[in-house]
Amino acid sequence: MNSIVKTDKKQKLVAAIMGVAGLMIILIGTHSFGPGISHDSAAYIYASKSLLAGRGYEYFGYISPFIQWPPLFPTLLAVSGFFGIDPVMASRFINAVVFGLIVFLSGIWLGRHLKSKWIAGLGTVVVLLGAPLIYASSYVWTEPLFVLLFLLFLFELEKYIKQQNRPSLVKAAVAVAFACLDRYMGITMIFTACLILLFIRKKLIERFADAFVFGFISSLPTALWIVRNYIVSSTFVGLRTPASVTLYENIKRSVKTVISWLLPNTSLNALPAWLQAVALALMLLTIAVVAVMAYRERGNKEKIEAGRWLETNGLPAVILLVFIVIYTVWMIASATSVAFDAIGDRYMLPVYVPVFFVGLLLIDGAAFLAPRNIYGKVSEYILLASIALWLVHPAVGAVNALESRIEKGMPFSYNAAGWKSSPMVSLLKERKPEYTVYSNYPDAIYVLTGIEAKYTPKKAGLPEFYGFEKFEQRVKEDGGAYLAWFGKGTSATTYNPEELKEYFDVELLDKPEDGALYFIRPRS
């Protein structure tokens, strides 16, 4: 069996230093305002608090169970809450540590697989300065943990296939089990592993046995969670609204997202962006030239060298490519069948590290297989210089992003400067409503005031949880309710104030700059 290449102490030290730098980037960027909070974040936080309160996993915004997401992340936040740590602050440190570990493990993996230690070092910096990774790790989101679990899965699956070390198969399956409990998209790792295991060089019965063991261990916890979902809601993962975005548009968004990681989204008039574009062109041109030179000078020695490189990197390259394809296809299919936010950096983040690993393997392969003459040496130097030039743009971007987040908070976050200065939020803090508050932004109200606001009823969906009859019943039982309606971002899937006027007496109480505060009463 093939052996696993060991990482030397210097490489581990460099990876550790980079990992600590990654941790500090997140902590510095979230120091002033805390980690970013979105609708999903509010749901994780609320579920963790409901779990701590002994009510189980509850969904935010409606009186309903938490079924739209798996339970791992809220559970981690609840554990921190058990020790008296606020879930938001706990998430800040959890994702900072997770990002640091992503950078550290990336450095270890690259050090093991790349023949050029310079390329491995620069590759670790590529992960460290990855804007989508930093952004997601600065929010109360689950994606960074998913990426970390993928890396653990990658290490252990490769180790098992090369050494037939049975505990490694179990460890890989456990990592994927946690990934599935973090995000339902963890199923793509199960498919990846089972597909790889079915095609390794072993007896057919052994291949099926490996795939079965892996699939059983990795899927069992989530299967039990889905059974629980069905018991409490009669749905497996919640009711999903059909998508309105076409297959073509989702393919375009996915491809555009990956390209944006390699090429700047900004104008090439800016020097860092121009350098990145030039650097990428230089890399591609140099790789093409090296391929031609290697082909012309091929011989027994060159074939042996190529064999050595493939022995180390062939298997991991296959695992990475299979996962990239399966995850991307699954994401596109999901976005075409179910409505959620547009495909972008966040939803494609799980393939961010794999995409760069594949690219760095390609660059390293070109440097290693280049002819051992002056032209080959020059090619290697050009590749190294190109990576360094490419890094200028993300480095400048990381510094600018840190400055902005220290001054204003995370973009689009409910705890950023813009939302904190909301007149509506200030009004609710002053009034301290004694009735339930309904809103089109209950998550923002919850995050900024602690008031457990709710959404207005959905026009379609599970009526026992989200329907109008339940809403009407609660308003009648309470004798009324507040309606804090912001003048932006109204969803057509829920009732708005004008539509509620058909069924309730709606009184305008106040009109702050960013919305209107109403009181609704049942009609006698």
pLDDT at position 462 is 78
Residue 443 buriedness (CB in 10 A; 0-12 / 13-18 / 19+): buried
| Whole-angstrom distance, CA of residue 256 vs CA of residue 260 | 6
Residue 138 — very low, low, confident or very high, per pLDDT cuts 50/70/90? very high
| Whole-angstrom distance, CA of residue 78 vs CA of residue 84 | 10
Residue 268 — very low, low, confident or very high, per pLDDT cuts 50/70/90? low
Reported as a single tens digit per residue, the pLDDT across 25-48 is 999 999 999 999 999 999 999 999
Which residues are CB-neighbours of 182 under 8 A, at least 6 positions away?
70, 72, 73, 142, 145, 146, 149
- Asked if 49 and 81 touch (Cβ cutoff 8 Å), the reply is yes
Nearest to 386 by CA among 23, 193, 141, 122: 122
Across the range 355-371, mean pLDDT stands at 92
Could you tell me the CA-to-CA distances from 402 to 410, 444, 471 in Å, in that order? 9, 23, 43
Nearest to 71 by CA among 180, 219, 231: 180
Whether 477 shows a pLDDT value over 70: the answer reads yes
Could you tell me the CA-to-CA distances from 478 to 48, 356, 434 in Å, in that order? 27, 55, 10
pLDDT at position 428 is 97
* CB crowding 486-512: b at 16 or more within 10 Å, else e: beeeeeeebbebeebeeebeeeeebeb
Whether 1 shows a pLDDT value over 60: the answer reads no
Residue 2 — very low, low, confident or very high, per pLDDT cuts 50/70/90? low
- Asked if 5 and 113 touch (Cβ cutoff 8 Å), the reply is yes
Whether 179 shows a pLDDT value over 70: the answer reads yes
pLDDT at position 36 is 98
Q: Where are the alpha helices (DSSP H) in 432-467?
A: 442-449, 463-466
DSSP state of 286: H
| Whole-angstrom distance, CA of residue 343 vs CA of residue 77 | 27
Across the range 67-78, mean pLDDT stands at 98
Residue 269 — very low, low, confident or very high, per pLDDT cuts 50/70/90? low
pLDDT at position 307 is 74
Nearest to 365 by CA among 352, 351, 376: 376
- Asked if 309 and 361 touch (Cβ cutoff 8 Å), the reply is no
Reported as a single tens digit per residue, the pLDDT across 498-522 is 999 999 999 999 999 999 999 999 9
Nearest to 96 by CA among 150, 159, 31: 31
Q: Where are the alpha helices (DSSP H) in 338-391?
A: 345-348, 352-369, 374-390
Q: What percent of the chain has pLDDT over 90?
A: 83
Residue 301 — very low, low, confident or very high, per pLDDT cuts 50/70/90? low
Dihedral pair phi/psi, residue 485, rounded to 5°: -110, 115
82-86, 229-233, 241-245: range with lowest mean pLDDT: 241-245
Whether 298 shows a pLDDT value over 70: the answer reads no
Q: What percent of the chain has pLDDT over 70?
A: 97
pLDDT at position 492 is 84
**Which pTM does this prediction carry?**
0.95
pLDDT at position 464 is 85
Across the range 442-448, mean pLDDT stands at 97
Whether 400 shows a pLDDT value over 80: the answer reads yes
Domain ranges within the chain, ordered by starting residue: 9-408, 421-522
Residue 460 — very low, low, confident or very high, per pLDDT cuts 50/70/90? confident
Residue 6 — very low, low, confident or very high, per pLDDT cuts 50/70/90? low
